[in-house]
């Protein structure tokens, strides 16, 4: 059986019955390197017609920047036409398609498209095909061209100037209406527009705003001490938990101390800095005045005082008030309300005090 098969094969070759070639080498007829800029770009007449023979196929790989193309007789534009990403193979087939080829860049950078053109093979039908094929690497990874804010590489058919694009190395942008709105890289996230909250007409970081702006939050905002600041050198809450307004000490975390006066063995019973503290005036029952030392203020201290013991005991016609201040002290005095005259504290009276600096 093998002998008969070999014999038949030899007879077929000798008698000219071998299968004819299905393709043939076709020599290039012209070459043109197209620079696709911000205007319509076509092939020149000498590229598409050489010695009376029309080019039927032009092939090349796009370099430099993204473009759009059309072959329907209408000019391409920056926003209309088939998108061709950098590295894609452009394969234009058909005499009419080659002749009507139109290209336009999508961004500010011109695309370079080197095209080699060929005549139609004599033994095949006329070409009629337009192909754009991404490079193997881009196709495999699903990569996109960089794009711009006006023409983001990931956009929408009904809104081509809104989407995502590459600003630079490790830097991505989101655009809306053709303008960069959201920009992030490996170090920070930047928004060019205010963050708006749906339940309040409040913004954070709007143009011209005095930062920080008012914000509404569903739960607590937790931050390290000293991070809330009106300027780089003026924290609202500094590292010592001192509260400042406009850079001026308002409430200090350092507790006050008894400087002089009061009765025997007076003391600070409890303290939350200068914001709220209690003073036991001591024993003896003859003192009507005492001085407290506080942290340094810009000008002085304003204190609210209540004789808690007297209030609880329903003592009439007596109260304790502040009568003097310096940048580091306040003087308290117990008085008769009706006359303003000094009045001795009862032994171990407890004063409730709250002081604010100014």
pLDDT at 320: 95
**pTM exceeds 0.75 for this model:** no
* CA dist., res. 180 & res. 47, Å (int): 41
pLDDT at 146: 83
Measured in degrees and rounded to the nearest 5, phi and psi for residue 99 equal -65, -35
> What residue segments make up the domains of the chain, in order of their start?
30-141, 154-191, 257-357
Q: Where is pLDDT greater, at 248 or 289?
A: 289
Identify which has the larger pLDDT, 242 or 75: 75
Give the least confident one: 30-34, 45-49, 144-148. Answer: 144-148
pLDDT category of residue 192 using cuts at 50, 70 and 90 = confident
Query: Are the CB atoms for 352 and 336 separated by under 8 Å?
Result: no
- Residues of the chain above pLDDT 70, percent: 73
Using CA atoms, how far residue 267 sits from 225, 251, 256, 272, 348, in Å, is 30, 21, 10, 15, 10
Greatest C-alpha distance within the chain: 142
pLDDT greater than 70 at residue 11: no
More confident: 218 or 268: 268
Indicate the range of 98-102, 230-234, 345-349 predicted with least confidence.
230-234
Its CATH class, for the domain covering 30-141, is mainly beta
Residue 50 scores a pLDDT above 90: yes
Average pLDDT over residues 224-239: 53
User: Residue 355: what pLDDT?
Assistant: 94
Question: pLDDT value at position 228?
Answer: 55
Residue 91 has pLDDT above 70, yes or no: yes
* Residue bearing the bigger pLDDT, 358 or 3: 358
With beta carbons less than 8 A apart as the criterion, state whether 260 and 292 touch.
no
* Mean pLDDT within 298-320: 91
- At 245, the pLDDT band (50, 70, 90 cuts) reads confident
- pLDDT mean across residues, the chain: 81
Residue 199 has pLDDT above 90, yes or no: no
Q: Residue 249: what pLDDT?
A: 79
What was the pLDDT predicted at 13?
33
Mean pLDDT, to the nearest integer, of 230-235?
49
Confidence of residue 246 (pLDDT cuts 50, 70, 90): low
**Residue owning tokens 């580091």:** 328
Q: Is the pLDDT of residue 177 over 80?
A: yes
């Amino acid at each position: 059986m093998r002998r008969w098969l070999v014999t038949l094969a030899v007879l077929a070759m000798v008698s000219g019955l071998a299968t004819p070639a299905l393709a043939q080498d076709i020599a290039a007829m012209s070459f043109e390197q197209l620079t696709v800029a911000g205007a319509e770009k076509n092939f020149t007449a000498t590229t598409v017609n050489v010695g009376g023979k029309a080019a039927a196929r032009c092939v090349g790989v796009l370099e430099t920047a993204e473009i759009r193309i059309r072959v329907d007789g209408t000019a391409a534009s920056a926003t209309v036409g088939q998108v061709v990403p950098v590295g894609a193979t452009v394969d234009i087939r058909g005499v009419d398609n080659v002749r009507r080829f139109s290209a336009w860049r999508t961004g500010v950078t011109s695309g370079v498209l080197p095209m080699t053109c060929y005549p139609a093979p004599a033994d095949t039908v006329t070409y009629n095909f337009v192909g754009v094929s991404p490079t193997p690497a881009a196709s495999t990874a699903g990569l996109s061209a960089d794009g711009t804010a006006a023409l983001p590489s990931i956009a929408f058919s009904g809104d081509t100037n809104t989407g995502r694009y590459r600003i630079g190395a490790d830097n991505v942008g989101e655009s809306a209406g053709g303008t960069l709105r959201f920009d992030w890289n490996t170090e920070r996230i930047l928004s060019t527009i205010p963050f708006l909250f749906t339940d309040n007409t409040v913004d954070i970081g709007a143009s011209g705003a005095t930062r920080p702006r008012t914000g509404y939050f569903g739960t607590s905002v937790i931050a390290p001490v000293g991070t809330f600041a009106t300027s780089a050198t003026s924290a609202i809450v500094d590292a010592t938990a001192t509260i400042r307004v406009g850079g001026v000490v308002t409430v200090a975390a350092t507790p006050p101390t008894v400087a002089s006066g009061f009765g025997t063995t007076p003391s600070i019973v409890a303290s939350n800095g200068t914001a709220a503290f209690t003073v036991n005036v001591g024993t003896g029952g003859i003192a009507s005045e005492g001085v407290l030392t506080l942290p340094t203020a810009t000008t002085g201290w304003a204190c609210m005082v209540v004789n808690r013991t007297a209030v609880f005991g329903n003592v009439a016609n007596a109260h304790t008030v502040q009568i003097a201040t310096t940048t580091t002290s306040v003087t308290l005095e117990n008085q008769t309300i009706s006359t303003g005259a000094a009045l001795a504290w009862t032994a171990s009276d407890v004063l409730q005090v709250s002081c604010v600096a100014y």
